Amino acid sequence: SSVVKQLDFMFPKVESEFKVQTDHGGMATMIALVMIALLSLAEVATWVSQNQSTSEHINVSTTLGKRMRINMNITFPSMACEDLHVDAMDVAGDSQIDVEDTLVKKPLRPDGSPRSAEEIRVETNSHRSDQEKKEKILKEKLPENYCGPCFGAQEEDDQCCQTCDELLEAYKKKRWKSTLLMYTAEQCIREGRDKKEPKRMTKGQGCNLSGYMTVNRVAGNFHIAMGEGIERDGRHIHTFLPEDAPNFNASHVIHQLSFGPGEEEAAAMNGVTKIVKDEHGTTGLFQYFIKVVPTTYRGKDMIARVGTEKSAQALPSLFEEVEDQGDDTVLETNRYFFTERFRPLMKEFLKDDHAEEDDPKKAGVNAGHKGTHSNQDHHHVQNAILPGVFFIYEIYPFAVEIKTAAVPFTHLLIRLMATIGGVFTVVSWVEAALCAPGGKRRGR
């Protein structure tokens, strides 16, 4: 112990009878303790806030050539599921027509509630009955004295409409609407004209579209547009009946839209609601121009902010790209921001195309031509008269890495000790200066 005592050169002790206690010293001690408490609390609060903050670093993206998953949950309150088709294309020349394998369409009533199984069954039976009637007409052999009905459009009692064109011509002379004849008249069914014409739209129903689709990590677009998409001469064409354009209500509610895993912070469009207003007619073209930024979240705490436990249970497949590496767990996803534009369908177009519709053979061709867009010019929908919802996205060539700015606990200890020592030192200097002016200490 004597050896240890000899080492006490930093903290020499003074006998108690040589100590002098003053009011100034007691006040200085109280001030020092209060300052130490306040500054220590401030240091702890600063350390906690620093551990909750994030830091971002920009790197060159290395995700080129990989596939990207687009998750969606969108409701179309005024569009039937059978009229809802999702197409995708990109600058690499790849296209996906009528994506269905990974998307679920849920029929809705006009008020937004799901349709019952009984309603769907009745509608399915009705379609089956219509199909059976068509098959019966195709199998039936015509007698030699066959006289095709004109369905009230005949000018003379004994007039016959032997072909679909003769029937349409009779309707045209009467100035009657002839579109439905393509699907119901036996002459047109027998000639296969019902298959050549675009399908009529269904009214009074809605649809919820949910699921995902996988695309190349290059610029492209996916859209829900009027008519059925087809590839013709290297171009993407939508075929539809112009007179059906007012029935294609592009109003929609985006419940969720994200690029890659994670959905909380990364989904900027969640909750977007777009309803076509009366002054714009009943339909139009919605365009969303999206800039996708590849983003890497590093650390379990950071990943927990992006996808909560609730969202992970609801959409477990969103987190398939999480690499568990302990404290260095990585989630590769994408953030995005967007601008939007709405272009209403002009009534003048409807009038002009309605006149063209008189020739049933050109109805689908005219409509398809006016709604065409190719893979090369995917960034711009060439013609505003194609009603629908277009999501046009571009992917930035750089990536952002986000992680929590963790400050070690030892840094807090060092700052606390520096604070305590500094306060005691400064207060002792001040107290000494006040109590011993001129270098002499005051008595009691």
Each residue of 363-410: pLDDT tens digit? 233 333 344 444 444 333 334 468 899 999 999 888 888 887 778 889
Among the ranges given (12-16, 213-217, 282-286, 416-420), the one the predictor scored with the smallest mean pLDDT: 12-16
Among the ranges given (27-31, 151-155, 191-195), the one the predictor scored with the smallest mean pLDDT: 191-195
Q: Would the pTM count as exceeding 0.75?
A: no
Extract the tokens encoding 79.
Answer: 């569009």
pLDDT classification of 352: cutoffs 50, 70, 90: very low
Q: Is the pLDDT of residue 168 over 70?
A: yes
Among the ranges given (148-162, 211-225, 343-357), the one the predictor scored with the smallest mean pLDDT: 343-357
pLDDT in tens, 84-111: 899 999 998 888 988 888 999 988 877 6
Extract the tokens encoding 153.
Answer: 């459009």
Distance CA 434, CA 440 (A): 11
Residue 360: its pLDDT value, please?
29
Distance CA 123, CA 407 (A): 63
Q: Is the pLDDT of residue 417 over 90?
A: yes
Q: Give Cα separations from 374 to 219, 279, 284, 317, 369 (angstroms).
A: 14, 31, 20, 32, 11
pLDDT in tens, 42-71: 999 988 888 777 778 888 887 777 889 999
- Render the burial of 374-385: b for 16+ CB within 10 Å, e for the rest: ebeebeebeebb
Q: Is the pLDDT of residue 209 over 90?
A: yes
pLDDT above 90 coverage of the chain, percent: 16
For 154-280, strand residue ranges (E) read 206-216, 220-225, 228-232, 235-239, 252-259, 272-274
Residue 275: its pLDDT value, please?
78
Q: Is the pLDDT of residue 316 over 60?
A: no
Mean pLDDT of 152-157: 84
pLDDT classification of 362: cutoffs 50, 70, 90: very low
Mean pLDDT in the chain?
Answer: 75
Mean pLDDT of 131-143: 76
How big is the CA angle at 91 (ends 89 and 92), to the nearest 5 degrees?
Answer: 90
Distance CA 37, CA 420 (A): 9
Residue 365: its pLDDT value, please?
32
User: Pick the residue with more confidence: 15 or 39?
Assistant: 39
